[in-house]
Each structure stands twice: as C-alpha cells, then as structure tokens.
Structure 1
Amino acid sequence: MECAAKGSPRRCSGPANRRCGGCGAVFYCSVSHQTSHWRVHKEECGRLKQQMCRVVLLNDFPFTFSREATYQVCGKVETRCSFLDKQGIHCVGFWICECSCGASITSSDHLRYDKGWNLSSKLCPCKGPLSMLTKKLSSWNEYYEWRGIPLDSPVALLLHWLIPEPTDELCIHYLGPEREVYQLAVFGELHALLPGVRVHIDFVGPAIPHDRDGETITLCSYAHCIEANCTCKSGTSNKSSSITIKLHSGLYHNRYTQLTKEFIPDLIIAPNAGIAAYKSWLPTIELIREIEIPTIFSDYCEEACHLAANCISSATGSPPTIPVQLNPFRQPLAVEDSALILPCYSNCFLFGI
C-alpha cells in the first residue's frame, strides 16, 4: 500500500501503515504526511467512507471459491497467481494474462485467438446452451445455471465483459482493449447470448500491436475445452450467428473516421477505462458527445467512476446519463495492490453517456 501523500515535497519516511481513521481507505507513512495531506483528502474522505460501507456487497459472489478470490486476495493471504494455480489454470492458454506472470507476454504463440479454456467440458461453456434465454440475466448465478456450469468453475474470470442486449445486428466499438486481445476466443460466447445475430466488434486502442492493425478474426464456434474427444472439437461452425472482430491500433478519436467507413456503431464499450487517469480520453469524450452513440464505461472501483463522471461533466457540460452502478457481472477475482484499500475488480462499476 502506498502513502496517500506520496509525491508531496517531503519524502515518505517509511512504509504506509498509518490508516485514515475517517474513511479507512487510505494509508500514510507518518503523522506529518497525514496532516499535510488533509487539505486534499478532506474532500474525498466522507465519500470513501461511504464506499467502504459497501465492501461486503462488492465481495458477494456465488462461487465456491469466492472467499479465496476476494477477501484472501485483498488480505494478501492469496495472490492471483496462487489462486489461478489452485484452479489449474495458471499461465496456460488465454489465462496467461490474468496474473503478473503473463502481463508482459508478447510472443506470437500467445497472440493466437484459438486458445481454449484449458478446462474440462463440465467446467466451461464449450458448446451451445441447452435452452434459449427467456429472460434478461441479472447475476452470475443465473448465468451459470443457464449455461449448465457448476459454481466451482472459474470461467467467470474471463466472461466478465459487458453482456449486450438482444438485437438483429450489432456493431460495437470496443475501446482500450488490453488482455482481451489475447483472449478473443472468449467472445465466441456471444453465439449463445445473441443467437442468430450478426455481431461485428471493432477493437480500438494503443495496446493493440501495430503488426495486427487491420486484422480481422471470425469466431465460428465456442472456445474449446481440454478434452480431445469432446464434440466442441468437431469443427462444426455455428451458422445461426456471425461474429467478427477487427483490430485497430491507436486512439479512438484518431481512428473514428476510418472505422465508420465500413460500420456505424450501435454501441461503444470502454471497459476499465480510467478516464480520470489519462488525458487522451478528453478528445474521445468530446467525439462521443458529438456523434451521440450510446456509450458504456466501466472501471475497477467506485471512486474511479466518480472521478470519471466529474471529467465527463467538465468536458460535456452534463453528467453521465447512466449513473454509476455496481456491475453484477464484474470479475470475481480481486485486483492485487490497488491504490486504495477499497476492493477492486475488473469491470466492477458501470456508467454511461
């Protein structure tokens, strides 16, 4: 945990083990740093205290591994690596990007999009659903029940991207992808969620390798399980729906004109956006305001969304039209070493304009 006053004129005197008695969300290295930082922290202390009251709700998941993946990771009893290792998925297939061990993987082998789940067919959605969706899914419990997956399966760690609404045809501009680029096969699950729908997704962001700019991937089936004789290996394409993904390197506001020559987006998605952390978002926000395309953002914690909402209000003159709200399909594995003591999860909170 870093000292909340790190970067001030006076250097930190030691480890940050002095916790704010008001919010309990930030730490300091000394009394002097805490005192000098109060003029900054007093504006956020009450807000962070309210967010800390929602810790139990944030950590509430139905999985058999929930305590290991939440409280024990936050309390440093577990690490993401040790948790993934217990699940038998540490640094294999497209799970390699889920911990610090694989964070810098750039080898051509891991750029492949046909990696499988590395799980048995009982633990992963490698085939179509047994029944059509008859209602809007509102929880991981409902999702797992519909797909026939037991609650000890870790697949929610990769299925935490936004679940779209049914439609006949859907074009999504997906902004700022990072590890998703190495987990493209997971998006084959859209065959189950959107049967009969033609889906085109433009991935746009600076993390996309330049040598993959313009690459188009067609997902004809679900991501495969590890069993050699499973029917998911039959090679049969899913003809009821069409899913294509195209990769674009660069910032969205610089690529938008070129992108829309082929497809006009129905929806823009920006997962774990970090709007308040990157100045490059400002021209993108201004563009989104101009084109008036529905846009959904997510971030790791409620405070990040609050700061992002302030940035959007400053840039557009009005607050987000979709208020900050908890995402029921957030990733159920806590982020390690977050800046605040607040629990952080990938795609934890949503808001939109």
Structure 2
Amino acid sequence: MVLILFKTSHWRVHKEECGRLKQQMCRVVLLNDFPFTFSREATYQVCGKVETRCSFLDKQGIHCVGFWICECSCGASITSSDHLRYDKGWNLSSKLCPCKGPLSMLTKKLSSWNEYYEWRGIPLDSPVALLLHWLIPETTDELCIHYLGPEREVYQLAVFGELHALLPGVRVHIDFVGPAIPHDRDGETITLCSYAHCIESNCSCKSVKGEFNSHTASDKSSSITINLHSGLYHNRYSDLTKEFIPDLIIAPNAGIAAYKSWLPTIELIREIEIPTIFSDYCEEACHLAANCISSVTGSPPTIPVQLNPFRQPLAVEDTALILPCYSNCFLFGI
C-alpha cells in the first residue's frame, strides 16, 4: 500500500513532465533528419555509440585541425592556445567549402541546409554545416548584434566571414560577450574582409589582401567586425552600448535553466526591449528556459519554441537525457 501511494504521489509530480518528454521523443526522426550523405553516421550512430564525434571528424579528415579542433573533446586543452587565434582556413578542398563568394544572389529566404548547400554549390558530403550553424542572418543595411556566451565560436571566427554571402552589402558589427572569452582578448577587434579559406594553395580565395586582421581599434570601413568582451552581459552592457545599440541579441546554446547567472541578464533584456533569440541543445532545455524567462518577464516568448532547420548535424555525446541533442537544435525568442 505504501509503495502504491508513493507511485501515485510520484506520478502526480511528474505526469506533465513525462507527457512532455514522450511528445518530444515522438519527434526523434525529425530531429535526426538531415540531407547529408554522412547523416546516419553523425546522428543515429553517434547517439548509439557506434561512432564518436572524434571518429566521425577523423573520417572527414578534419579531426584536430584548425578550428575543427573545437568540435570534440580532444580540443578542450588546446583552445586556449594562441595558434588558433588567427586560423582562417576550412582545411577542406575548394569543392567542399564556401571559400569564395556565391555565384548568384539570394532570391529567397533559405529554409534548410539543402537549400543553402545548393545555393553555395557545395556537395552534400561536405561537413561545413558543422560550423555554419552559428550564423543567424537578418536583412538590413546595417546590423549590430550582441552575441552572448560564445565559447568555441571564439576560435572559429573566420567562419563568420560567410556573412558576406548571406548579407551582401550589409555592415555587420558583432559584440561577443561572455565569461569564456580569455581576459587577454578582452577588447580585441577582429576584421573579416573575406571568406574562410580552402586548403588549396593556388585557389583564388588566397588572393584577397588583408582578409583577416586583429587589432584594438575599430575599423569603420569593414563590412564585418567582431569585438570580444570578457564577462557577463549585464555587467558589460553599458560599455557595449557606448558606440552601438544592438538591433538583435543572440544567445546560442544558452542553458538558461541551468545557470542562475542568466537571471540579471534576462531582467536587463526585459528592460531594454531588444529582440532576443535563444537556442539550446534540445526541446526540453528550451521549454525550461522559456519558463524561467516567463517568470521574469511575466509573459510567454513572442517566438515559440521551434526546431531550428540550421541546427548542427552532428549529435552531442553523453547527454543527460535520452533525447538526441544537437548544437542550436531548438530556438525561441522574446
């Protein structure tokens, strides 16, 4: 009798959560649906421990090279090294990466990796989507973005050169701010004047002069500049807005429900009323994050939790839930 009462009490507490997780599990096939030739290896086989992120990257010929080193646990002790600071190459052939401008202008909003690869003339066996999932383009003549909580992105900055193709003629300024940014890089400005390079020495992508620079003073003429700021957003906001007021705030893989340090940042975002996009590794994390934000703002997200069609197509290993997890898998906004 005691056991039955315990089970009944337990079910009352977890009935909603279990029902929600059941619905999320029904979407596993959709989560694992990618158009790439390597999709099964990168999804089902990594989740089932048949493959690891390391073995997958090794098969692609990009394990522990350049900014790919941040995509597996092998790079954990290396990402603080200066040798990654100015890396600007894909370590792929020109056929497999977008090292030059597009052959045609965008005529419609991209809605899938398949459409992006087709537009950029990249075959579906190319792994570049593993890095391009950080980009969230908007259309305007000038765009200022506050990018919160970057980690491995700091060592993959050249990838953001693809914004030249996604936002042609747009002056883009991105402020990266977060505690993972090394203190010795606080205040650093990076200028991106071209695309990340391929591995071929005779490719025309090498002909652009001064394509990747780092300095302490802002370069007004550059179409893409990235400023690095060490610390928490609510502590650095007044400094960040002395020159630029953001048009958009982005917080990728935020983990809001897991870190109390987000609460003063959410309160600040509520006050300044800047459109903000959050993402996380799975739907449940976004659901919990949305509840946390609603408890602060008093209202639900204006952009509901939804699957990101441009999530990273390589599963996260050793997750707490049985649900498949991908970097920037789901997103929502306020």
TM-score class, shorter: over 0.9
Aligned length: 322
Shift of 1:90: 0.2
> Cα gap change, 1:215/1:49 in structure 2, threshold over 3 Å: closer, same or farther?
same
Identify which of 52, 58, 65 aligns with 2:38.
65
Q: Structure 1, residues 230-287: CA drift from partner, whole Å, max 9, x if none?
A: 00011x9999971000000000000000100010000000000000000011000010
% of aligned pairs identical? Answer: 96
Tell whether the 8 Å contact from 1:195 to 1:241 is kept in structure 2 after alignment.
no
Deviation at 1:104, TM superposition (A): 2.7
Structure 2: distance between partners of 1:33 and 1:88? 53
Q: Note the C-alpha offset of 1:165.
A: 1.6
Instruction: Pick which of 179-188 and 107-116 moved more.
Output: 107-116
Q: Which runs of 5+ in 2 are unaligned?
A: 208-216
Given that residues 67 and 84 in structure 2 are in contact (C-alpha distance below 8 angstroms), is that contact kept between their aligned partners in structure 1? no
Mapped contact 1:74–1:336 kept (Cα < 8 A): yes
1:102-136, CA deviations, whole angstroms, 9 ceiling, x for partnerless residues?
A: 12324433441333100000000000000000000
Question: SS at the partner of 2:40?
Answer: helix
2:10 and 2:83 mapped to 1: Cα distance? 44
**Displacement of 1:41:** 3.5
SS of the aligned residue for 2:96 comes to coil
Structure-to-structure mapping, 1:24-173, within 5 angstroms:
40-173=13-146
> In structure 1, the residue corresponding to 2:54 is in which secondary structure?
helix
TM-score by length of 1: 0.87
Conserved 8 A contact 1:221-1:237 = no
On the 8 A contact 1:213/1:249 being kept in 2, the answer is yes
Contact kept? 1:176, 1:271, Cα under 8 Å: yes
Distance 1:148 1:32 in 2: 62
**SS in structure 1 at match of 2:132:** coil
Once residues 222 and 34 of structure 1 are traced to their aligned partners in structure 2, the CA distance between those partners, rounded to angstroms, is: 58
Partners of 2:148 and 2:41 in 1: CA distance: 31
Could you list the per-position Cα deviations for residues 32-78 of structure 1 after superposition, in whole angstroms to 9, with x for gaps in the alignment?
A: 99999656543410000000000000000000000000000010100
Q: Is the 8 A contact 1:204 1:251 kept in 2?
A: yes
Report the Cα distance in structure 1 between the residues aligned to 2:7 and 2:329, rounded to whole angstroms. 29
SS at match of 1:296: strand
Q: Distance in 2 between matches of 1:87 and 1:288?
A: 40
Q: Any idea what the Cα deviations from partners look like across 1:115-158, whole Å, max 9, x if unmatched?
A: 31000000000000000000000000000000000000000000
For residue 307 of structure 1, what is the aligned residue in structure 2?
Answer: 288
SS for the counterpart of 1:239 is coil
Give the secondary structure class of the aligned counterpart of 2:8. Answer: helix
User: CA 1:143 to 1:33, structure 2 compared with 1: closer, same or farther past 3 Å?
Assistant: farther
Partner-residue secondary structure (3-state), 2:277: strand
1:239–1:207 distance in 2 versus 1, CA, 3 Å: closer
Matches within 5 A, 1:282-297: 282-297=263-278
Structure 1 Cα separation of the partners of residues 5 and 320 of structure 2: 20
Is the CA contact (8 Å cut-off) linking 1:62 and 1:140 kept in structure 2?
A: yes
1:171 is paired with a residue whose SS is strand
What SS does structure 2 have at the residue aligned with 1:158? helix
**In structure 2, C-alpha distance between the alignment counterparts of 1:238 and 1:125, rounded to whole Å:** 25
Contact 1:70/1:332 (8 A) holds in 2? yes
Match of 2:310 in 1: 329
CA contact (8 A) 1:221 1:238 kept: no
| Whole-angstrom CA distance in 1 between matches of 2:194 and 2:219 | 5
Report the CA distance shift for 1:45/1:167 in structure 2 as closer, same or farther (over 3 A): same
Return closer, same or farther for 1:293/1:107 CA change in 2, 3 Å cut-off: closer
CA contact (8 A) 1:191 1:241 kept: no
Question: CA offset at residue 162 of structure 1?
Answer: 3.6
1:174 corresponds in structure 2 to 147
Judged with a 3 Å threshold, the aligned counterparts in structure 2 of structure 1 residues 37 and 225 are, in CA distance, closer, same or farther, namely farther
CA gap of 1:336–1:40, structure 2 versus 1, over 3 A, is: farther
Whole-angstrom distance in 2 between the partners of 1:131 and 1:167: 19
Q: Distance in 1 between matches of 2:181 and 2:219?
A: 27
CA contact (8 A) 1:172 1:200 kept: yes
Do 1:197 and 1:241's aligned partners in 2 also have CA atoms closer than 8 Å? Answer: no
Taking only aligned residues, the RMSD between alpha carbons, in angstroms, comes to 2.6
Residues 299 and 349 in structure 1, CA contact (< 8 A), matched pair in contact too: yes
Question: TM-score, length-normalised on structure 2?
Answer: 0.92
What is the rounded CA distance, in whole Å, between the counterparts of 2:315 and 2:8 in structure 1? Answer: 30
Q: 1:37 to 1:336 in 2, by over 3 A?
A: farther
SS in 2 for 1:201: strand
What is the distance in 2 between the residues matched to 1:118 and 1:279? 39
C-alpha spacing 1:193/1:240, structure 2 compared with 1 (3 Å): farther
Q: How far did 1:166 drift?
A: 1.5
